[in-house]
Structure 1
Amino acid sequence: MTGAEASAPQPFDPASAAIAVVTYNRSGLLSQLLTSIAQMDPKPGHVVIVDNASTDDTTEVVESFRARLGTELVYRRMETNTGGSGGFSEGMRVAYELGAEWIWLMDDDVEVLPDGLAKMGKWAPRFRSIQGRRYDYDGSEFYWQYRIAEPMGIPIPFAPAGFDESGYKPMNSGCFEGMFIHRDIVTQIGLPDPRFFIYWDDQTYGWLASRKTASVIVDEFVLRRTREIKQWDMGVRHMNASSNAYRYYIMRNRAHIKQYYRSLGVYNPILFGLGSALTFGKELIRLVFVERTVRGTSHLFRGIRDGRVIAKDASWRPMPPLEVTANG
């Protein structure tokens, strides 16, 4: 238990929170999100927009909201597309340097429910790493895989969806589409790792947070997805469509997880290898049943190949704690 957790709970101040959004060439979706933030009550103290070098009218859209958002807007335009991983790392850094006590991460393809921050703030005195719930594009309840099988480094797809009277469940994962995290935890585990580019970055970051604090998913609907994604409906669960880039990074980035596991002394080569094999198999199923094709397997194999280089890199180091960085 950290010193912050051992002390008496402090009431939540909405102005102490910052929303950090990553966007890339989706100005229409971003406009919907910013409109929802303008309608929030209460509002956060800051909204940070990280633009991954968009080529559309994202800059103009952001500037059009500056006077009507109702809170301070900070805009960071990256020189190149750093992926979701690089964008969230930068968004977290900016929010942290602004002095935010709470940092709420989200993609540009969601909107915030008007009382979303109040709902998250209700749990802030008790926990330091919190995940709220979200509605899917069609208004249904979105199921997020909030627990991972740690030795294998993969989500548990059938972890119970229901909540008991406590209103929360322990989690050992994370999702940047709604992660609500306290600066004390960010200080201890550092910024999200931009080397992932996309995929596994938020799961790994949430897992790192769960090693420092009691992480929970709470029975509070705070977001709604605003983009429809092709899915395969399996009844109790669904599987989303993917892309060649995702197929590449989902296999390549297993090596980054392996390096994190090694650095923390939890790496089991047999069980982790099984997790990688199951991941590969899942992507094959996704190709056949969601995307109705068998093309794309070359990107999986390319990811495995490049991952071997990362796994053998003796110079690899995890992201440093910010307290270490601050002290030089």
Structure 2
Amino acid sequence: MKSSLHITAVVVSFSRIKLLKRCLAALSNQTLSPDSILIVDNASTDGTQQWLRDWLPENLPRAELVSLTDNRGGAGGFSEGLRIAVERNCSWTWMMDDDAEPHPTALAELMKVASDSNNVYGSLATKGADTSWTTTLLDPPKRVVDLAADVPNQSRVQSLPFLGFLVHRDLVMKIGLPDADYFIAADDIEYCMRAERAGSKLIIAGRSLIEHPKSDRYTAKLPGRDLICLKLAPWKRYYDTRNRLLIARKYYGIKLFTQTIPGSFVRLIAALIYEPRKLAQLWAFTAGMIDGLLGIKGRRHQKWGIPQ
């Protein structure tokens, strides 16, 4: 089944060939097929690019390999894939990581909901009956859900990840591309905030399902509230800390100082209590805090001596 609109799927990959094979198999099995598929490879070192060159022409001819010469992270990969799709006059672009495994009806169900080119739409990431991460639904009654069955067919949400993320060319032309200099972490949050400032609604399609590993998270107890924290390797802690501050500098005003910075220290304390490699966590947090407050972007964990 084909759509009357041109839909491009963008998959960003880095050295996870087994996951990528499952992702591409799932994309080839859609009841509504994307018209084209762009696989943006971040200079993989596990033979991914050669396998794709050998496998794609015979098995998935509508797919194309975009080989990057260096690892630009998820942010750089999505920015490049979306740039190419827009330049080719694609109507809608459906973006995901290589660890995504869309259900056969995922794209068809998503396109049933995607009715306005000014809005952003997203599939629901699930791990069995659970959502892959906590989802905040904004339509009344506002609530936080962790079960896929609790997500309606469509609902406004607080944010959408670059995993089943559907955006129209017209909106990209208005707000630009994702910020490649975030490297990883929160690049999708920043892009969603930019879209909302342009008048977009963020809408999740609860019947458009993508299997995805569940986030490793825990809850830090605070007076009067609970803070959901992700377990992160130190190099990812650097980007999580830095990019939260970059977003706050750009969008939050005084809340950078009253909410984001204090919240960052709470996350640090939680990491030092619940996570291993405590000195490495502290160093990564410090580096992320410095670069975030100074507004320094790019791939920088190695410059701070934080191993991947």
CA contact (8 A) 2:42 2:67 kept: yes
Shift of residue 57, structure 1, vs aligned partner: 0.9
- Counterpart position of 1:16: 6
| C-alpha distance in structure 1 between counterparts of 2:125 and 2:152, whole Å | 19
The one-character-per-residue Cα deviations of 1:143-190 (angstroms, maximum 9, x if unpaired) are: 444479xxxxxxxxx943288997322224231112111111111110
The aligned residue for residue 244 of structure 1 is 234
Partner of 2:95: 105
* Structure 1 counterpart of 2:207: 220
TM-score (ref. length: structure 2): 0.81
CA RMSD of aligned residues (A): 3.0
Q: What residue is the counterpart of 2:162 in the other structure?
A: 176
For structure 1, which segment, 53-62 or 291-300, has the greater mean C-alpha deviation from structure 2 after superposition?
A: 291-300
Residue matched to 1:299: 284
Aligned to 2:187: 201
The answer to which of 43-52 and 279-288 deviates more is 279-288
Which residue identity is paired with 1:129? V
How far apart are the structure 1 equivalents of 2:259 and 2:85? 38
Per the TM alignment, residue 62 of structure 1 is displaced from its structure 2 partner at its CA by: 1.8
Greater strand fraction, Structure 1 or Structure 2: 2
- Structure 2 equivalent of residue 66 of structure 1: 56
- Structure 1 residues not aligned, in runs of 5+: 1-11, 149-157, 262-266, 312-328
Report the Cα offset of residue 259 of structure 1: 4.3
- Which amino acid in 2 is paired with 1:171? V
Aligned length: 282
The residue matched to 2:131 in structure 1 has which SS?
Answer: coil
Whether the 8 Å contact between 1:93 and 1:191 is mirrored in structure 2 is: yes
Residue 54 of structure 1 deviates from its aligned partner by 0.8
The verdict on how the C-alpha distance between 1:188 and 1:301 changes in structure 2, with shifts beyond 3 A counting, is: same
Q: How far apart, in 2, do the equivalents of 1:189 and 1:109 lie?
A: 27
Q: Which amino acid aligns with 1:206?
A: C
Does the residue aligned with 1:122 lie in a helix, a strand or coil? helix
Q: Find the residue that maps to 2:110 and give its secondary structure.
A: helix
**Structure 1 residues 280 and 78, CA gap change in structure 2 (3 angstroms):** farther
SS of 1:86's equivalent in the other structure is helix
Residue in 2 aligned with 1:153?
A: none
Using the alignment, how far apart are the partners of 1:172 and 1:52 within structure 2?
29
User: Shift in Å at residue 72 of structure 1?
Assistant: 1.5
What are the within-5 Å matches in structure 2 for residues 256-295 of structure 1?
256-261=246-251, 267-270=252-255, 272-289=257-274, 291-295=275-279
Deviation per residue, 1:298-323 (Å, 9 max, x gap):
11011111223227xxxxxxxxxxxx
Name the aligned partner's letter for residue 168 of structure 2.
H
Instruction: Give the Cα separation in 2 of the matches to 1:34 and 1:121.
Output: 19
Q: Which residue does 2:196 correspond to in 1?
A: 210
Percentage of matched positions with identical amino acids:
28
CA drift at 1:192: 0.2
